[in-house]
Amino acid sequence: MIVAMLEDATEEQIDAVIEVMDEAGVNVHRTTGAMQTILAAVGPTAGLDLSKFEVLPGVQRVHRISSPYKLAGRAWRPEGTVVEFPNGATIGGKQVAMIAGPCAIENREQIFTTAAAVKAAGGGFLRGGAFKPRSSPYSFQGLGIPGLELMREAAHTNGLATVSEVMEISQIEAMLPYVDCFQVGARNMQNFNLLRELGQVRRPVLLKRGIAATIEELLLSSEYILSGGNYDVILCERGIRTYETSTRNTMDISAIPVVKKLSHLPIVGDPSHGTGRRDMVPAMARAAVAAGADALLIEIHPNADKAVSDAAQTLYLDDFAKLTAELRLIAGAVGRTL
């Protein structure tokens, strides 16, 4: 259930409505936007009599939300969520954000050279994996915390925010000093214990769509984080597994407008994992921006062919610079900046 307060509702009226909702045994999540306050009730709402809330002073309208996700639903924050980062960058606003970096942090020179290229292209986020979910246990598993130390330093030098994947609950605390945004990878989209724990931290989370997940399942997974009170969730379309074998995954561009319609959460396009092929990354990056993506996640590396993971889909730094310039034109054509 969603209770929309009148634009001129007073704090006393809002508090009084929250009290009645509390008494009804539901959890109340409040959001106050530029125009009005919205109160979302989570819990046993099925048996509630809506008219009981409609008549309270200051209430504009009460809706029953039939979708299974409540906090992720667009109705909870009609104006959309803008996630803010300590370096001043945002995801979800007018500006399309650029998140780029190597699939895996490998060494100091690699991450510093990459960070400088992200900065030079106008990007705001350096992303690098330190804990890597590899299909084979014999593949490189990442540098761990020493890798994150390098990335933090490289990002700091270039005024960038950092993003890195967390694979399990025990890594959260250790990663906090180094990451401005936790990435949850496709394979962990339904690791509900991890999602719940990330609901307890106050740090943005970039949640990737599972390899075979529907958009509804992605939104339900985000609900695990949101219902813990961490409202800074960013979704990511990274391709899904279909019967098509020409590309590593099938990048579902239509997921971008679908998420925009159903949810207030920002959505990122990841054409690197979406295609798995360097020659196809630019086309799908352009498509994602045209479709309304709030950010792009792109794997780049100074020596892309030699990257220890995901080399085939990794862009060289000069190709990344060229792509960013093209994306800037497309962003402008659809009323955004980059």
Binding mask 132-161 for Mn ion (x = CB under 5 A): ------------------------------
What CA–CA distance (Å, rounded) separates 292 from 256? Answer: 7
Minimum separation from the CB atom of position 10 to Mn ion (A): 50
133 binds, among Mn ion, ligand PEP, none (CB under 5 to 8 A by kind): ligand PEP
Contact 161, 89 (CB under 8 A): yes
Query: Between 90 and 183, whose beta carbon lies closer to Mn ion?
Result: 183
Structure tokens at 200: 């307890």
What CA–CA distance (Å, rounded) separates 252 from 213? Answer: 11
What CA–CA distance (Å, rounded) separates 80 from 74? Answer: 7
Beta strands 2-5 and 59-63, pairing class: antiparallel
Query: Between 71 and 288, whose beta carbon lies closer to ligand PEP?
Result: 288
CA of residue 110 relative to chain centroid, distance: 25
Backbone angles phi, psi at 37, to 5 degrees: -100, 135
Binds ligand PEP by CB under 6 A, chosen from 29, 70, 152, 208: 208
# residues near Mn ion by CB under 5 A: 2
Minimum separation from the CB atom of position 234 to ligand PEP (A): 13
Binding mask 270-299 for ligand PEP (x = CB under 6 A): ---x--------------------------
Please identify the residue of the shown chain whose CB is closest to the bound ligand PEP: 185
Minimum separation from the CB atom of position 83 to ligand PEP (A): 18
Q: Is 301 a binder of ligand PEP (CB under 6 A)?
A: no
What CA–CA distance (Å, rounded) separates 141 from 156? Answer: 25
Q: Is 198 a binder of ligand PEP (CB under 6 A)?
A: no
Query: Between 142 and 282, whose beta carbon lies closer to ligand PEP?
Result: 142
Minimum separation from the CB atom of position 132 to Mn ion (A): 8
Query: Between 62 and 163, whose beta carbon lies closer to ligand PEP?
Result: 163
Q: Between the CA of residue 159 and those of 63, 103, 151, 205, 287, what are the distances in Å?
A: 43, 20, 12, 20, 28
What CA–CA distance (Å, rounded) separates 201 from 73? Answer: 21
Minimum separation from the CB atom of position 207 to Mn ion (A): 16
Residues numbered 302-321 forming contacts with Mn ion, rule: CB under 5 A: 310
User: 5: which strand partners?
Assistant: 59
CA of residue 69 relative to chain centroid, distance: 16
Backbone angles phi, psi at 302, to 5 degrees: -60, -30
Residues numbered 98-157 forming contacts with ligand PEP, rule: CB under 6 A: 103, 129, 133
Q: Is 223 a binder of Mn ion (CB under 5 A)?
A: no
User: 164: which strand partners?
Assistant: 182
Q: What is the CA radius of gyration of the chain?
A: 21
Q: Please, is 191 exposed, middle or buried when counting C-beta atoms within 10 Å of its C-beta (0-12, 13-18, 19+)?
A: buried
Minimum separation from the CB atom of position 306 to Mn ion (A): 15
Binds ligand PEP by CB under 6 A, chosen from 186, 213, 296, 317: 186
Binding mask 218-247 for ligand PEP (x = CB under 6 A): --------------------x---------
Minimum separation from the CB atom of position 141 to Mn ion (A): 13
Residues numbered 181-200 forming contacts with Mn ion, rule: CB under 5 A: none
Backbone angles phi, psi at 95, to 5 degrees: -80, 130
Contact 314, 301 (CB under 8 A): yes
Binds ligand PEP by CB under 6 A, chosen from 102, 124, 185, 282: 185
**Rounded-to-10 torsion of CA 187, 315, 269, 235:** 40
Residues that bind Mn ion (CB under 5 A): 103, 310
Residues that bind ligand PEP (CB under 6 A): 103, 129, 133, 185-187, 208, 238, 273
